[in-house]
A and B are shown apart, each in its own frame.
Chain A
Amino acid sequence: MWHSTKSHDKQVIFCKSTAFLFVQGMGMKLNTSALESHRLVIGTSDELPNGFSTAPSFEIPNTTDFDCFQKEAIQMVKPAKGTTTLAFIFKEGVMVAADSRASMGGYISSQSVKKIIEINPYMLGTMAGGAADCQFWHRNLGVKCRLHELANKRRISVTGASKLLANILYSYRGMGLSVGTMIAGWDETGPGLYYVDSEGGRLKGMRFSVGSGSPYAYGVLDNGYRYDMSVDEAAELARRAIYHATFRDGASGGVASVYHVGANGWKKLSGDDVAELHYNYYPVEPTIVEQVMVET
């Protein structure tokens, strides 16, 4: 029997079970709590027998090699972590700063991206890597932190919050997430700062800088850092480090935002355009003019 294939009858199945194969060795399930709203979607029509209707589906692109296309698509949006973010612990808490440029290759797609994400009133996360990945998973972390508060009648520690995020990112390892974030907060033990990335690494430290501009920022930050700085001095150090990184790194720029996390939570201190900062730090000197063209 010769069957004619309907060329537009594409099946879209969102399958969570394939993801389990990756982490079976750990005996740990892939953390799909954030994706629970997705359901099995079969067929392009919204009608099922017995009057049930399916969730809305989408058509997959008409390519000869869908897997290769998927890989190419992931590579295209794979961000080079074009950004500069930094955070450090000092006597008065944690100082967090970031630039605000989003770039796609050589094109600057935005100069006003919020790269410091407010997880809850006493914890901040920074964004480097994929904007969607960072925003979504930080929001998800905020949800989990709130649930922890409600279940345990006390706030979650920065250690705990960063561990939650690191475990989620570890379970998605190798699947194309791109997240390089720092979790900064103030809990019962004082200020806390953790670096968490999508490869599953998690580091506790006193100062970190993440992104393509981070080597430049590290230089200024390491040199000017003292544990006992005042809030203003620390803010100026953070702002200066971001400025110098945006000066040298093409993928960083826009506005340097500086936040401070203290015992009472975080507070945004400043948001200065780096071009203006340049002329503040290095004002234009009037040059000596030898000869002037004069209109006769």
Chain B
Amino acid sequence: MECVFGLVGKDYALVVADTSAVHSILVHKSNEDKIMKLDSHKLMGASGEAGDRAQFTEFIQKNVALYQFRNGIPLTTAAAANFTRGELATALRKSPYMVNIILAGYDKETGPSLYFIDYIASVHKVDKAAFGYGSYFSLAMMDRHYHSNMSVEEAIDLVDKCIIEIRSRLVVAPPNFVIKIVDKDGAREYAWRESIKDAHISAA
């Protein structure tokens, strides 16, 4: 039920995730942010078991920060992806983390990149990727309309097409999505696509 997908464009990478936290038939929350900022220029969108998702991505985030403190320079996206994959692989035969990850990053030397890391620790550098039931719809849409060096507006248009398709065709479609972007200016939230407004925490 959790939909996470991403794509790479001209000097940026996008990650989109749904924002519902679900336990069997109950939706506990419709504004749960599943895309974590690993550091200033990396985004990690994750889907999977509740505890694993939050704990594992935080673990990776803290280790990425530790590397920067120890060595004075940040990790490259490729290094972060391989580190994540290594942690998943080590735990795989003992107590696997059931988390699927899309890692997007921008490096000054190599530009934007997107990595597909699944729960059995395979890692692929790709232009577009998707996880979950939503992938059935978003992958086909992206395959059809994607081309390299898309502008931000074209990419957001494609993302909206995917979200509309998921909403109309998936039987338990998540109502709300969050879109985050990473480019030379850093990683930040781009937009929310909400069809159900949950009381935002900041309202308190």
Contacts and interface: CB of A to CB of B under 8 A. Distances in A.
A204 interface: yes
Contact of A173 (B29, B51, B94): B51
Contacts of B26: 214-215, 218
A170 B21 CA distance: 17
B105 to A, nearest CB: 23
Interface in A203-244: 203-208, 214-215, 218, 227
B196 to A, nearest CB: 11
Given A22-B95, A25-B95, A205-B201, A215 B21 contact: no
B50 A26 contact: no
B52 interface: yes
Interface stretch (A116-124, A141-149, A194-202): A194-202
Given A201-B51, A218-B26, A25 B97 contact: yes
Contacts of B32: 203
Interface residues of A, number: 31
Interface in B54-96: 54-55, 59, 87, 90-91, 94-95
A21 B54 CA distance: 21
B204 to A, nearest CB: 5
Interface residues of B, number: 25
A24 interface: yes
A25 B51 contact: no
Contacts of B95: 21-23, 25, 173-174
A201 B50 contact: yes
Interface string B167-199: 000000000000000000000000000000011
Nearest to A25: B91
Given A25-B97, A191-B204, A202 B91 contact: no
Contact of A206 (B59, B94, B199): B199
Interface of A: 21-26, 89, 166-167, 169-170, 173-174, 190-191, 195, 197, 199-208, 214-215, 218, 227
Given A199-B51, A200-B55, A206-B203, 20 more contacts: A21-B94, A21-B95, A22-B95, A24-B91, A25-B91, A25-B94, A25-B95, A25-B97, A89-B204, A167-B55, A170-B55, A173-B51, A191-B204, A197-B51, A199-B49, A201-B54, A202-B51, A203-B32, A207-B199, A208-B28
